[in-house]
Amino acid sequence: MANSALTDRLKHEAQRLGFALCGVTPAATPTGLGHFAEWLSAGYAGEMHYLADRHAAYAHPRHVLDGVRSLVMLGMSYARAEPASALSTAATTETAGRGRVARYALGSDYHDVIHDRLAELASVLRAESPGAAVRGVVDTAPLLEREFAELAGLGWVGKNTLLLNRQMGSWFFLAALLTDQELAYDQPHGADHCGTCTACLDACPTGAFVAPYVLDSRKCISYLTIELKTAIPAPLRADMGDWLFGCDVCQEVCPWNHHAAKPAESESQSRVPGGTPQPGEAGGMDLIELFWLDDAAFRARFRHTPLWRPKRRGILRNAAIVLGNQRTPTALPALIRGLNDVEPLVRGACAWALCQFSEPAAQEALQARRKIESDATVLEEIQ
């Protein structure tokens, strides 16, 4: 098939598979590689050491697929999921003991869903071009997806460092299909439509943006609740508010997201990652019950969802911080249980949370734990 015909076929199939955005760009060294190196050198990646460890591989897509000539960049919407933004930092009867989950994480793991779609798209390409080398990736390969998506005409990188599209805002996942076939290429997106707007920078609860287009991950709530494996820095805990997993603030305030297109209902059910949110999750997750889940129950509930990434200890750490911010008395039994958890990370977070309460039960539990605690970091939290 001619390059344009094959490209048109791939774009048609991508749309059928639920990808709302599709553009093609040639494989090349990304122009933003120098900025990426500067970002790493500044320490903004925090504990995400895998980025620096694979820094050299980001220099060209050939490190993802040998002989690659083209990248088909794809966007799949998750705009149909309602945000859990009704919660406030001050607990009410309706929100007490509940925590917010980022919109993209409501439901099943998007990696699994998108990988299945990419496999179908790759099969189409191989059928049309027998012997073609193809590889599909979803944010786990050393590839600067946002830059290649911009080169493929899907949108522009906004001041909040997310890819923005005029019709879809930023409520979409990025994926890529790499191939050694030469395709018909789209024009890069040449305009930045953020203008003078600084809504995302101004709204960030922890001040994670050191400048427009520059994010210090070490202060980002998404990083703190997902990627960080150690205790959340004390100065940032109160600013986490009700966020249990991830954060949508810089997206929710973006004007381009106020009118973002949503998939049709039938498409939402079958094509969009995430599936149907678990009961109550769209309005906040019950945090208190999490402390009564053992390892097996936690695995059964979260194994195939994005919330599995920080594992049980990370989720309970986050839940303790949220409950400490809310200071809801009904959370005391759960926090006291967590204070005696097998994981020091959980005990330390619960100790901090209990210190936010004035109830005698909280102080008694802390003093009792202090007498038997052997972990220095937990003792420091109690002190």
C-alpha distances out from residue 59 to 32, 49, 52, 174, Å: 10, 17, 12, 19
Whether residue 274 lies inside any domain: the answer is: no
Question: What is the per-residue pLDDT for 84?
Answer: 47
Question: What is the per-residue pLDDT for 79?
Answer: 78
Whether residue 23 lies inside any domain: the answer is: yes
Whether residue 25 lies inside any domain: the answer is: yes
Query: Are residue 23 and residue 163 in the same domain, yes or no?
Result: yes
Domain stops at, among 179, 198, 223? 179
pLDDT bucket at 107, cuts 50 / 70 / 90: confident
Whether residue 216 lies inside any domain: the answer is: no
Whether this model's pTM surpasses 0.75: yes
- The partner residues of 347 in beta bridges, in order of sequence, read none
Query: Are residue 50 and residue 166 in the same domain, yes or no?
Result: yes
Whether residue 66 lies inside any domain: the answer is: yes
Q: From CA 99, how far away is CA 244, in angstroms rounded? A: 5
User: Which of helix, strand or coil describes residue 73?
Assistant: strand
Separate counts of helices (H) and strands (E) for the chain: 16, 11
- To 5 degrees, how large is the angle CA 291–CA 78–CA 172? 115
Q: From CA 42, how far away is CA 45, in angstroms rounded? A: 8
CB–CB of 293/334 below 8 Å?
no
Domain stops at, among 127, 161, 179? 179
Domain stops at, among 159, 179, 199? 179
Q: From CA 14, how far away is CA 75, in angstroms rounded? A: 10
Residue 326, domain extent: 287-383
Round the CA-based radius of gyration of the chain to a whole number and report it: 22
pLDDT in tens, 46-86: 999 999 999 999 999 999 999 999 999 999 999 764 554 44
Q: From CA 175, how far away is CA 303, in angstroms rounded? A: 22
Whether residue 188 lies inside any domain: the answer is: no
Q: Which residue has the tokens 């220095």?
A: 376
pLDDT in tens, 246-274: 999 999 999 999 977 665 443 433 333 44
Question: What is the per-residue pLDDT for 365?
Answer: 98
If phi > 0 it is left, if psi is from -120 to 50 it is alpha, else beta; for residue 227 that is: alpha
CB–CB of 183/10 below 8 Å?
yes
Residue 212 has pLDDT above 70, yes or no: yes
Question: What is the per-residue pLDDT for 85?
Answer: 47
Whether residue 247 lies inside any domain: the answer is: no
Whether residue 202 lies inside any domain: the answer is: no
Copy the structure tokens of residue 154. 């899907």
Q: Which of 66, 139, 192, 375 is catalytic?
A: 139
Query: Are residue 37 and residue 167 in the same domain, yes or no?
Result: yes
Q: Is 139 noted as a catalytic residue in this protein?
A: yes
Residue 91 has pLDDT above 50, yes or no: no
Provide DSSP, 202-247. Answer: HH-TT--EEETTEE-GGG-HHIIIII--SPPPHHHHGGGTTEEE--
Residue 221 has pLDDT above 60, yes or no: yes
Three-state secondary structure along 82-129? CCCCCCCCCCCCCCCCEEEECHHHCCCCHHHHHHHHHHHHHHHHHHHC
Report the chain's mean pLDDT, rounded to a whole number.
Answer: 91
Give the count of domains, the chain: 2
